[in-house]
Amino acid sequence: MKEFDFVVPASTANLGPGFGVLGLALDMPYRVKVRESDVEGMVVERPGALLGTALDMRHDALLRSLRAATDRWSTKTPRGLSIVVEGIAPRDCGLGTNSADYAAGAGIALRYSNDLPAADDVLELLVSLGSDPGHGAAALVGGLAIAIHDVARARQSKFRILRAPIAPAWHCVVASPNVETTTAEGNRIVPATLPHGIVSRTSGRLAGLLRALETGDESMLAFCLVDESHVPFRLGVAPGIREAIEAATEAGAAGATISGHGPAIIALTTNSSKCERIAEAARAGFESAGTKSSSWICKPLEVGAMPTRPEH
């Protein structure tokens, strides 16, 4: 019987002024192992997953996406599949794990498809299921991804994914408090509208941030990672976020901000020798507010869940 495996990256999204648009795949991937089974039905196992992350199979995000992609592209999958998902990225902290589940499900279905749809169309499906556009784009194609919403077709929720270049010198430090928050919680506290002045400043910073990430310009990144549209409102989703961001920057990070909807933060530097010091400082920042945390050092990951060709 057929067996195959592939990786789906965890991701950081929003990235300061890139709210709802920008996603960066991280080398903290989930490895998805698929084995065809004689037993009818599809079962997902997540060895080592924290208590509370195991869902009723009827509501599992990976299986929901697998079924939706199968229906969308008339794909025939085996009647029985055993799916094992292994990875180190913690869930429900702003590292795109829910979007990774959706991308994994679609990735499995597409590996049984005769015709491979465009990643843009797959992102549309993921967003319809509940994925954040930036996280979803990064999970599908890897690297630095921009999810562009086609306003002219807003009723059809059309998206375009643009891969943006990122300098290989960048290193990422992720620090996450031992607190779980949901996307809904993170979104509830963000205002529905913004003044025009904030919108124009955000647009300028996003352009500068993309240039900084492409060229490895730490000074430009420090200037442009500042955000007024969502970060100030999400600083309170867990104790210590502000302190961790400030500590990471003081320890030498070019910039630091909330990852996704939080409460994890991400700090960036082009100097690998600073990473351990930045990670330690971020943990101390959370600790100063009475919050325990964990940290990881990683690089951007250039691959995503999309197959390059059908693998049936």
| Contact call for residues 293 and 180 (beta carbons, < 8 A) | no
* Model pLDDT for residues 76-95, shown as the tens digit of each residue: 999 899 999 999 899 889 99
Q: What pLDDT was estimated at residue 312?
A: 46
Give the end of a domain, one of 114, 144, 164. 164
Q: Are residues 154 and 239 in the same domain?
A: no
Please indicate, yes or no, if residue 306 is contained in any of the structural domains. Answer: no
The number of beta carbons lying within 10 Å of the beta carbon of residue 186 is 21
Separation CA 305–CA 105 (nearest Å): 9
Q: Are residues 151 and 59 in the same domain?
A: yes
Predicted local distance difference test score (pLDDT) of residue 241: 97
Q: Are 306 and 108 in contact (CB under 8 A)?
A: no
pLDDT value of residue 86:
95
Q: What is the pLDDT of residue 243?
A: 98
Least confident range of 116-130, 151-165, 197-211: 151-165
Q: What gap in Å lies between CA 209 and CA 166, rounded to an integer?
A: 11
Pair 115, 46 in one domain: yes
Residue 113 structural domain: 3-164
Residue 283 has pLDDT above 90, yes or no: yes
Same domain, 107 and 199: no
4-8, 51-55, 215-219, 266-270, range with the lowest pLDDT: 51-55
Lowest mean pLDDT among 5-9, 176-180, 219-223: 176-180
Q: Is the pLDDT of residue 52 over 60?
A: no
CB atoms within 10 A of CB 86: 15
Residue 230 falls inside a structural domain: yes
What's 223's domain CATH number? 3.30.70.890
* 175 contacts 293 by C-beta, under 8 angstroms: yes
Together in a domain, 7 and 112: yes
147 closest CA partner among 155, 215, 157? 157
48 and 179 in a single domain? The answer is no
pLDDT band at 53 (very low <50, low <70, confident <90, very high): very low
213 belongs to a structural domain:
yes
Nearest of 293, 305, 288, 290 to residue 262 by alpha carbon: 293
- Whether residue 181 is found in the same domain as residue 146: no
Dihedral sign computed on CA atoms, order 215, 216, 218, 224? positive
Q: Which of 240, 166, 141, 189 is nearest to 15 (CA)?
A: 166
Q: Is there a single domain that holds both residue 175 and residue 118? A: no
Tell me, yes or no, whether 123 and 25 share the same domain: yes
| C-alpha span between 135 and 266 (Å, rounded) | 14
Residue pair 189/307 in contact by the 8 Å Cβ criterion: no
Note whether residue 311 is domain-resident: no
Give 187 or 243, the one with higher predicted confidence: 243
**Domain boundary, last residue among 140, 164, 188:** 164
For residue 303, tell me if it sits in a domain: no
Residue 135 has phi, psi (to 5 degrees) of -60, -45
CA distance 106 to 173: 29
Domain presence at residue 307: no
Please say if the pLDDT value at position 311 is more than 60.
no
The answer on 72 and 213 residing in a single domain is: no
Domain assignment of residue 181, yes or no: yes
CA distances (Å), 164 to each of 22, 63, 97, 111, in order? 10, 30, 22, 26
Q: Which residues of 201-214 are buried (b: 16+ CB within 10 A; e: fewer)?
A: bbeebbebbbebbe
**pLDDT tens sequence across 229-274:** 999 999 998 999 999 999 999 999 999 999 999 999 999 999 999 9
pLDDT tens digits, 94-119: 999 999 999 999 999 999 998 899 99
Helices 119-129 and 97-110 pack at an angle, to 10 degrees, of 130
Query: Looking at the structure, do residues 146 and 88 belong to the same domain, yes or no?
Result: yes
What's the chain's length in residues?
Answer: 312
From 164, 186, 216, give the residue that closes a domain. 164
- When divided into structural domains, the chain yields a total of 2
CA distance 157 to 146: 15
Beta carbons of 269 and 254 less than 8 angstroms apart: yes
Do 7 and 83 lie in a common domain? yes
Residue 305 lies in a domain: no
